[in-house]
Each structure stands twice: as C-alpha cells, then as structure tokens.
Structure 1
Amino acid sequence: MKELHKAILFMMLSAFAFAIMNGLVKYLADFSAYQLVFFRSIGTLLITSSLLMYHKIPMLGNKRWLLILRGVAGAISLLLFFASLKFLPVGTAVTLRYLSPIFAAIFAVIWLKERIKPLQWLFFLLAFAGVLVLKGFDDGLSLIGLSMIILSALFMGLIFVVISKIGKQDHPMVVVNYFMFIGTVLGGLLSIGNWKNPIGVEWIWLGILGIVGFVGQLYMTKAFQIASTNQIAPLKYLEVIFTVMIGAFWFLEIYTWWSLLGILMVMAGLTLNILYKGRNA
C-alpha cells in the first residue's frame, strides 16, 4: 500500500509538471511551434544525455530504426500539439491529444495483430462521441486546431506501438534521448526561417520548458515502475484537469457546459478502457 501511495504521488507530480509545460507553451504563443519544440527538446536532451554518460549507458541503443521512428513520430506529434495551442483552449487540446490510445489500439491490430474486444470499441465510441460534442456544440472551436490535435494524437498512438516493439531491449532514457535529439534537430531546422530572439525573462521560461518536461517524464516512468498500469494510468488524466484549471485561471479561457461534457466523455471513455484492459490482462 505504501508503494501504491508513492506511485500515486509520482503520477500527480508528473501530471502537474506536464500541465505547467502546456501552460508555458500557451503563454509563449508569440514564438513559433518549431522554436518551442526546439527549446522543449534541447532542455531535456541536455539532462538525458548527461545522465546516460554519467551511468555509462550506450546512447545509440539496440533497436536503432525503431528508436528513430519513435523520435520522428514524437517530434511530429509534439509539433502539431504546440501548433494547435494557437487555435484551441489549452485544456481542450490536451484532452483531445489523449485520444491517442484509440489510434494505438488500431495500430496494434494492424502491426502487432492484437485483438480489441467489443466492449473496448464501446468505450472508444464514447470518447469519440465526446469529440463530436466538443465540436458540434462549440462553434468557436477551430477546425484547423482540431485537425492538428487529432493528427498529434494519431502520431502519439503510433509511438505507443513502437515503444511496445522496442520493449525492454533499450533503456527508457535512451528512448527519450532519441526523441529529444530528433526534436531538437527538427525544431531547430524549421525555426531558421522565422527565429524570434528571446528577450529577458523569456529565456528562463523557454529553459523551464525542458526541465518540467523532463520532470513529467521521469515521475511518470517511476510511477509505472512501482505500480500496475490499471492502478496508475487513469491518473494520467489529472493532466487534463490541471490544464483546464490553468487555462481558466491563467488565460481566462471560458469552457461551456458542452465543452466540459465533451471533455468528461473523452476522459471517461479512455479511463474505462484502461480499467477494462487491466482487469482482463
């Protein structure tokens, strides 16, 4: 029970760190999504590379093509997510990005030949119905932003399947390091044409992006290492709640009752799927 309490605390810290990162990205909207990906990635890359060298873990890993695929898919997903925040309320964007388990399940059927049980499809349908409620009853929801965040979720779903294929053949820090390296290169190259020089305190905020991103990743990993997935995974959706609160109080974003219902339906559908999978594993 003590280990479970520790895992819950780690997951809460992870969710809060990612929510802070989401708020900072929204706050730094004057910078391009490319530049934000660059600073988010390079900040974490410096930490992960240092840790790999300190612990003498080979950086290149074993499943190199899969590691590259994970890094590319991760960088594209992150780029689309950051870009969508210029069009969507931050809480809505984070909620819709969590549609990724649905895409992961579809990729797993195609690639890993896994089966999805009928009740899981019902839970996925509930989550997609939440998306329709969000868009159908919120005229202010941008179609461009919605398209970006759905694509971001799709690439995130691909990431889950690729990580599953990598398995335990590579250290988790190596997997993250590939992601951050590719994000740094991609974000840096795409920023060349529209680079905006940070001024004063902006350097601090951009630096914090990488730090809170690493903290979120670290404590999420620690939580999954000491508790079962079905006990911990639903707590990941605390990030949505924290982010909605940040959006409401920091950016004075207004969420209609329909928006909140849509968010709740998405979270309920995906959480029920996690619990169902855990019970039937």
Structure 2
Amino acid sequence: MADHGKFITRGVRSMFLSTAFFFIANVLVKQVSHLPAMEAVFFRCTIASVLCLIGLRRANASIIGSNHLILALRGIFGTIALFTFFVTLQHIPLATAQTLQYVSPIFSAVLAIVILGEKLGRTQWIFYALAFAGVILIQRVDHRVEPFYVLLGIFSAFCSGVAYNLVRRMSGEEHRLTIVFHFQLIGAIAGTIAILFEWVQPTGCDWLWLLGLGVFSQLGQIYLTDALQREKVAGVAIVIYSGLVYAVVIGWAVFGESQSLLTLAGMLLVVAGVLASVFNSRRLARRVEDVEATAAYKV
C-alpha cells in the first residue's frame, strides 16, 4: 500500500534501492566481460536461486508451483533475455545497453494484445514510435554500437516482454518467489550446460564480481517486489529510469565511455517515449502495473 501524504514513500525508497542494486549487477557484468556471457549467467542464476530457495522456505511457499508449463516458458524466455542482455552489456557502452533494455515495456504492452487479449490506444503507438526513434538515433550516431548488438539488445527486450506477460498470466496463482525461483533455476541449468562446452577460469577479483552479481541481482529483485506491492508503476516510473543517469556517469567514470549530445538525445527519446506511455492514462498504468517496471531488469 502506498504511503499517501509522504513525498518519499517506502515504495519509492524500495525502488531506488532496487534500481541501484540492479545497476551494480550490470556494472559487475561488464567487469567480467572477458568471461563468456553464459558463464556470468551461470553464477548469477545459481547464487540467486539458492538465495531464492531460502526465501521460499521462510515464506513456506510452494517450490514446484502449479502452472508448470507457463513457469517453464517464463524461465526459458527470461534466461534468453538475460543471456542476450549480458552479451550486449559486454560489447557496447553501459548506458546504451541499459537504454535498449528500456524498450522492453513496449514489447510487454504489444505482446499483451496477443497473449492477454488487451488493447492499446492510438496515443500509445505514437509514444512507442518515439522511443524506437531514439534507438535508431543512438545506432546512427554512436559508431561504437554495431547494428548486430542493437538488434540483440532489442531481441533481449522482446524476450523480457514475453516473460513478463507469462508472469501476468500466473498473477494470483503463483507466489512471486516461486516464479522467480523457476527462472533462476532454468538459468542455472542452462548455464551449467554452457560451461561444460565453454569455460574460462575466473581469476583474482573475478570471483568477487561473480558473487556480487548473484547477490545484488537478488537484492534488486527483493526490493523491486516490495516496491510493486506498495506503489503503482506511475508512482515509481521516474525512479526506474533514473538508472540511465547512473549508467551514463559510471560508464564514463569507470569504463571511459563518453557519450555525445546526439547519443544522449537518443537515450532521452527512449525514456521520454516510455514514460509518456506510462503517464498517458491511469487505465494503462493499472493494466501494466507490474510489467512496465519489472521488464527493465531481466529478472
């Protein structure tokens, strides 16, 4: 429940923490760019699944669940989204990769037409076109960003959209931790298979970065869940996209990834398009209360 009357509610504070934790996890992925992306997925999902299992035990919630097919599909699409997002993080600037992930709410809403039988107003399509115009601008002006990785980032966002519509199909039927656990478990299994064929031995601080990746990802999920239980997406949307500020600053300070004014303009177009769609109507905000927020994080 939202804390009405307070400028910074508990829900907003939780979303700030969630955004920060997920961003730290993204930075750690770039720190291990010399390792295969699926190796990072393995550590991320294995550590997070153990933490999630502990949470399930404490909550006395079902580990197996009842919607087995949908849980499996959610885990598969979530794992694909996570893997492709990690690849983009490792090969293009941090802020650009994060911006591409921000278009996932568009796919969530569009796919809801097919999966959930929902409808979109004409105004929403205009806002979504604005966001994609930003993506095109980024690709055209930033020569560090190859078209392949732009397409891969968009594909990651698409898979996130599928995953979160599947989550909505299970709304009220499965415990949140049950859904998250199946995703992490499938990611861990896929990662295990992948490292049997391609393994690069982590050295030195790599182990610390990989441990942090799993821990911070799970912390981000915990606070994200708390925020969504307390606030509607319209109340925390600006907080969600504040992660772009982190990405621009840290990308420059840590990885030496400067951004041109036109690239920044493209990023702002993406964020403006998605935010405008969120605030366009209360009806839309209610319909995508979980999807608009969570799709930006690949968890």
Q: TM-score range by the shorter chain?
A: over 0.9
Show the 5 A alignment for 1:128-207: 128-207=132-211
The aligned counterpart of 2:272 is 268
Give 1:51 deviation, angstroms.
1.5
The answer (yes or no) to whether the contact 2:29–2:86 under 8 Å persists in 1 is yes
Q: Which residues of structure 2 form unaligned runs of 5+?
A: 287-299
Does residue 33 (structure 1) correspond to residue 37 (structure 2)? The answer is yes
Deviates more, 1:53-62 or 1:265-274: 53-62
The aligned counterpart of 2:54 is 50
The aligned counterpart of 1:115 is 119
The answer (yes or no) to whether the contact 1:15–1:242 under 8 Å persists in 2 is no
The answer (yes or no) to whether the contact 2:127–2:274 under 8 Å persists in 1 is yes
Deviates more, 1:178-187 or 1:47-56: 47-56
Paired letter, 1:70: R
Q: Can you list the C-alpha shifts for 1:153-180, whole angstroms capped at 9, x where unaligned?
A: 0001111211111111000000110010
Q: Secondary structure at the match of 2:271?
A: helix
**Cα separation, 2, equivalents of 1:138 and 1:14:** 29
Deviates more, 1:119-128 or 1:85-94: 85-94
Q: 1:214 aligns with which of 212, 218, 237?
A: 218
Question: Root-mean-square deviation (CA), in Å?
Answer: 1.4
**Cα separation, 2, equivalents of 1:191 and 1:177:** 21
The aligned counterpart of 1:233 is 237
Q: Secondary structure at the match of 1:82?
A: helix
TM-score, with structure 1 as normaliser:
0.96
Q: Can you list the C-alpha shifts for 1:11-67, whole angstroms capped at 9, x where unaligned?
A: 111111111111110111011001000011111111001121233211011211111
Deviates more, 1:56-65 or 1:179-188: 56-65
Paired letter, 2:230: I
Counting matched residue pairs gives 281
**Cα separation, 1, equivalents of 2:150 and 2:229:** 34
Give 1:81 deviation, angstroms.
0.4
The aligned counterpart of 2:297 is none
Q: Secondary structure at the match of 2:280?
A: helix
Q: Which residues of structure 1 form unaligned runs of 5+?
A: none
Q: 2:129 aligns with which of 114, 119, 125?
A: 125
Q: Secondary structure at the match of 2:202?
A: coil
| % same residue | 32
**Cα separation, 2, equivalents of 1:44 and 1:161:** 22
The answer (yes or no) to whether the contact 2:31–2:209 under 8 Å persists in 1 is no
**Cα separation, 2, equivalents of 1:42 and 1:234:** 31
Give 1:139 deviation, angstroms.
2.5
Give 1:4 deviation, angstroms.
5.2
**Cα separation, 2, equivalents of 1:218 and 1:2:** 22
**Cα separation, 2, equivalents of 1:223 and 1:111:** 25
Tell me which stretches of 4 or more aligned residues in structure 1 moved more than 3 Å. none
Q: Can you list the C-alpha shifts for 1:176-208, whole angstroms capped at 9, x where unaligned?
A: 100100010111211212211222332121111
**Cα separation, 2, equivalents of 1:254 and 1:3:** 34
Give 1:278 deviation, angstroms.
2.8
TM-score, with structure 2 as normaliser:
0.90
Q: 2:69 aligns with which of 65, 70, 75?
A: 65
The answer (yes or no) to whether the contact 1:33–1:79 under 8 Å persists in 2 is yes
Give 1:152 deviation, angstroms.
0.2
**Cα separation, 1, equivalents of 2:282 and 2:240:** 15
Give 1:243 deviation, angstroms.
1.8
Paired letter, 1:114: E
